[in-house]
Structure 1
């Protein structure tokens, strides 16, 4: 049986006659009437038949007549009339996964939740909020045969709560709940106080905001401002404690502080400002230069580049070079064959940044010999020597004849 049809079954008669059965006729009439209607236009040989196009809610009497060449049998009648109605399917709510845990929205946002369900015939749907009937001025409910829609145009914190839906078919019902939380920005901390100031530091403490925005406070933002510039700078973000120490303040400046509360929506629009001002006092500071241990860098002369033996040509200026180090700066003397050269204009003596040179201008054969450079300071002395050979230019025979 459903809302528009009825299916019946019957047994074959015990006696069908020698000529056999031609088939069956199925007839029905509404309860309270005697107008029998033939359901099958043609005889059916089957022992099962479905009567269609019935009206839901009616009581139907059904009878079956066997037919053979000899005529119709006595009708077989159902013992009781059959009500035409839908087969009851137990109602079941299919709560979406996203609504099985707490559902969060911000203040002012639109809420449009669809909760599907099943059940036959069409279930009756009812809603409660925190155990009380819904305020239909704020919450709009739209029901169909397969789902229920809860709609709030602009959510407010008072819309938060536990919503319960009940779906009922006859004596069967199913219930489900969803938890809605509408949140907003928190208010500022209830109070903030400057506890202490010392050195270049200031200590603050504050209390949580009175309005947490209908959700947990996740942290605080702490800022400082110099009273001269009045520009705010962030010292701490996402700070979880109710006390803080601000360090590295500048001596001679005065500071104000403010604290913002923070939740999952964001940071409070305003902050709580300290009434007190933290002034970092100037203190007399005597500069004490660092002490360094004295080191003795004195060093006896030492030649780092020696003199090299060399040969020169008569009439061509030549130069001897060496390098020396020592502290204090050593005094340099040049000697020829162990005799001090002194201020002889034939020689040019230069000493610059440890490089010592002796220039011999247009040497002759008598300028050959052993040259010595001697370096001397308070720590000692050092010498280095080389041999200089001055050679005469050898002319070819043709050049000698020309010379004569």
Structure 2
């Protein structure tokens, strides 16, 4: 029971063991328990627990701390941190016991118990090595420890650091002549040293530079700054823990340097000059605002301003005096001031250039019947300005000079065309610059326009086209150059492998075509071949076949290919010619056969077979409908077998329709049905034509001519007879007709009539009986009724007809009866 309750609650009333697990207790509640034994006579007295028992989990010491390590070390103290244990033993961890052990000692010294996961162990001695351990503690006790590695107590090192003014980092800009201080605060343990460097040269206190350094700062002072002091200054502070380098940027503004020379005189006239220059190499640290251009005569000392506001590096100087010598100077200006000047060479105001001197004597070469190439050399002088081109003139012997080129020639040679064969020509050249033309060059030596003739070039791309054991078929292309004379023919030479001698094959006459069959080869030998072209001058250079030729028959299995027009379906009309063409290849020449439906075709009246290998052709004249089908061409030699086929369709009119039937005949219509022809003529049936006629007519009338189905309804006139016929039609035309053999009568369908009504004997005698009856109620669809009268003896099974023909009335006299017979 709960100690706070007066009522006992049974946990078990049937347990036979001397122990029992009490379940479903409330955590944190205190309980009392009692037990009584029971037998067949009843329950004995209870025995109770002496003290209440609290329902809580069992407690254990916690697990060891995790990841114990040091985070800082000084001369007399060490900072430790760790992580919580993986398990707390079932009770809250109340603290952590920190201990340390000096290197070489056996005992651990307790430092203190801390509640957090870090601790600073103090009171240590500098230079000694210690181990540290930490134990977790709860209400039950201490855990196992976690131990550090040996740690030596020594002075803490702090890497150096530098603090600069933001303006120094971004860059300090000063004017020339000012004093600059570059201060920096530095920190670090031990105290760092400072070093100033610029352009890879260490700065020391000397002249205009002064360095002041103490334990916490360093200052670089530069007096009377000049333009060359501009640049990057590197400050490096260092100690045992490391080093730190920072960059300071200094820009010293000054007037710009002189413009970059020389001053170029671009144009000179008696009235003006055009000069140009390049910007200064040093703009003084500030952009150039403009240039100040001045002039003076060489004999005077005063300068006159030409321009003080131009930003361009080119200017025209006007109002000069003809024949006077001038000197020009240019100064650059920025926001600081005006820089040093750049002076020009003295220049006289006059025309600057002269016409060029004449070119050298022309040389003429590469002469043909209508053209020649003329070349010349440079003039000795260009007149002071670049030559812009050349003018070429020609003349016939003792004729006038005629200009050859419309626009100036920029090259030192020119191809002259339009000459007349057999005429003699001379040439001369003028040089031209911006001032004008030079005097003419000396005239060239006279030349005569005529066709130059040389031996032809080598034939192009000779190769082996075919060969056998005794011959080789060679082909080639004519040379690119015929040497100025038509090629008369070709020479083929042969060299047997292993020898050096070339033997001419065509000894008697030249080969006119670009192909030749070399005879007389010996089977199994290898040969080289070369070919020469010949014109009126003589033989040209030979061209050799790239590969040697082995005298041997070429064996290859047959190849059969039909022409493109024969590969798909071949369609012809009746009476036309079926033509199948193709090519058959193979070495040796294969035997070729044509067949259709398993039957070999041979030459006959309508069939022509032409074999002119590699071309083959089969013609079937006056084609019939029965000629349609699959034609197979077979080629066979000692190396194999090949075949191809062509499908031929012969178009004709369709055959007759099948099974013409007339049904559902009435007095005003009937149904006509039939089946498709067995042969559609090689073309799809487009429609059917249905016709009719009466027996007394010769001409046929159309029921319908555009029927696509095989069933049609025909309109009739009552009580008339009709014949019908049907034919099929394709794109070639209508086929033969099929007719009905007997006419049909246009009446409604007739059935058997009903039985006559009220048959009775109206009168009788010894040898006769007079019978009467009434028309049947149902006449079967036809009012034209006739009657048949039959009789039999009573005991007989057979009926006999008593009259001939048919009876139209409803009465009849039966005679020739036997008296007293029933």
TM > 0.5: no
Query: Relative contact order (C-alpha < 8 Å, sep 6+): which is higher?
Result: 1
Structure number with higher strand proportion: 1
TM superposition score category, shorter chain reference: 0.3 to 0.5
TM-score by length of 1: 0.42
Q: Which has the higher Rg, Structure 1 or Structure 2?
A: 2
